[in-house]
């Protein structure tokens, strides 16, 4: 019974012996020898305790694999299990929304990691498999597939090409080269398949803005209203970093990993929640300091001008700002002692300033200029093998 229990636990914490991984950027994986990982946020959150993950499939016929780009990695799950922990998950199991591809189950295996990359990717790759895009009149993706094929041959990684996705599923009519199936002379090379688009200046600004918030707790535009919406800030991360594997995004994720480690956080969601709470506290404390100074000036002005007011006129304001010390201010007000009132207000102003300093000390103070210096993936026609 004990052996069966251990077997069952190991089965739950591992990926299948053969695993499949679809990527939008297989050429870069092969060239860099690294898998870029996605990060857990929102519906991707699991109890793994790791912020990043590599999505795999136990079946090569998973709904995500039927893609016109037509390149997939066949991986050695046994080797991956030696180095990483994994588990099975149906991505859409807890959602009323089903995948666009006929509602099929993802049958997903997921490897989790504390780092945004898995190094030595090539040692886990058994084969790189591609197929002709029968739905495309020009078959423009074949130019990119051929680049992947040439790189595989240079790296001694098996490359297999099929006439169609259906042939791939059935292991029917495999070929060793794209040229065995595709007649390139009949294809006009107007729009070659590209890697994920290079970052425009707008994208880079969004990345730097988001990192300034999550790492340094700064907003160069001083637009604090935006922090009232987790969805807006979260969408920046989702659009520009989360599922991107270019060098800039990987660099950004590595900085976030350092931040999560410092705060002992398990995932990006917790980091977002921490920063939202802190920025709202900062905003409130700063506003309270302004209000305290305004009230102090008002009280001193009234005392000096002998305005006929009682302390009760200010009771609720003072109760909010000063707590039980409002009674001390009441006595000082009746004694017409402006200096004493000022000392009480300054005490609470200093308390708020101390809270602000404590929050600002959580800033990572990481210099973000290296992001701009990171080389982004060039267009494919500029890549040399």
* More confident site: 75 or 60: 75
- Does residue 98 register a pLDDT over 50? no
Tell which of 127, 153, 186 closes a domain.
186
Tell which of 186, 218, 249 closes a domain.
186
Query: Do residue 132 and residue 218 come from a single domain?
Result: no
- Residues in Cβ contact with 112 at an 8 Å cutoff, skipping those fewer than 6 apart: 40, 46, 48, 49, 50, 52, 53, 84, 85, 86, 87
| Residue range of the domain that includes 377 | 195-385
DSSP-derived secondary structure letter, 364: -
Split into its structural domains, the chain has a count of: 2
- Does residue 24 register a pLDDT over 70? yes
DSSP string, 6-57: HHHHHHHTS--SEEEEE-S-HHHHHHHTEEEPEE--GGG--SS--SEEEEEE
Q: Write out the two tokens for 14.
A: 């591992």
Query: Do residue 260 and residue 119 come from a single domain?
Result: no
Query: Do residue 218 and residue 169 come from a single domain?
Result: no
Query: Do residue 215 and residue 102 come from a single domain?
Result: no
Q: What is the pTM of this model?
A: 0.72
Question: How large is the average pLDDT for residues 132-153?
Answer: 78
Q: What is the pLDDT of residue 359?
A: 92
Query: Do residue 171 and residue 246 come from a single domain?
Result: no
Tell which of 121, 156, 186 closes a domain.
186
Query: Do residue 158 and residue 101 come from a single domain?
Result: yes
Burial class (CB in 10 A: 0-12, 13-18, 19+), 103: exposed
Burial class (CB in 10 A: 0-12, 13-18, 19+), 125: buried
Instruction: Give the range with max mean pLDDT: 66-70, 131-135, 302-306, 339-343.
Output: 339-343
Query: Do residue 155 and residue 205 come from a single domain?
Result: no
């Amino acid at each position: 019974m004990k052996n069966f229990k251990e077997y069952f636990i190991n089965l739950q914490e591992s990926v299948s012996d053969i695993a499949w991984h679809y990527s939008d950027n297989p050429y870069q994986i092969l060239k860099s020898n690294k898998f870029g990982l996605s990060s857990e946020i929102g519906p991707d959150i699991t109890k793994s305790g790791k912020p990043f993950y590599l999505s795999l499939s136990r079946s090569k016929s998973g709904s995500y694999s039927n893609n016109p780009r037509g390149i997939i990695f066949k991986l050695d799950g046994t080797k991956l299990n030696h180095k990483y922990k994994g588990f099975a998950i149906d991505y859409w199991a807890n959602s009323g929304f089903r995948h666009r591809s006929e509602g099929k189950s993802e049958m997903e295996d997921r490897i989790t990691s504390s780092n945004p990359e898995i190094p030595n990717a090539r040692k886990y790759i058994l084969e790189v498999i591609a197929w002709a895009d029968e739905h495309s009149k020009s078959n423009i993706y074949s130019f990119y597939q051929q680049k992947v094929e040439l790189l595989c041959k240079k790296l001694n990684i098996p490359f297999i090409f099929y006439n169609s996705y259906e042939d791939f599923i059935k292991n029917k009519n495999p070929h060793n080269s794209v040229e065995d199936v595709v007649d390139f002379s009949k294809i006009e090379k107007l729009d070659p398949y590209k890697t994920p688009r290079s970052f425009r200046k707008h994208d880079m600004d969004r990345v730097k803005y988001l990192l300034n918030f999550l790492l340094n707790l700064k907003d160069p535009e001083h637009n604090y209203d935006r922090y009232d919406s987790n969805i807006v800030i979260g969408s920046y991360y989702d659009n520009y970093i989360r599922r991107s594997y270019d060098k800039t995004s990987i660099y950004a994720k590595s900085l976030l990993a350092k931040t999560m480690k410092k705060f002992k956080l398990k995932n990006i969601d917790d980091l977002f929640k921490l920063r939202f709470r802190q920025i709202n506290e900062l905003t409130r404390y700063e506003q309270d300091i302004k209000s305290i100074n305004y009230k102090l000036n008002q009280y001193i002005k009234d005392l000096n001008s002998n305005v006929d007011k009682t302390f009760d006129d200010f009771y609720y304001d003072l109760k909010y700002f000063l707590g039980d010390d409002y009674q001390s201010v009441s006595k000082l007000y009746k004694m017409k002692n402006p200096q004493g009132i000022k000392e009480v207000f300054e005490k609470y102003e200093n308390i708020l300033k101390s809270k602000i300093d404590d929050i600002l000390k959580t800033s990572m103070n990481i210099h973000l200029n290296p992001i701009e210096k990171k080389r982004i993936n060039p267009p494919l026609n500029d890549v040399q093998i």
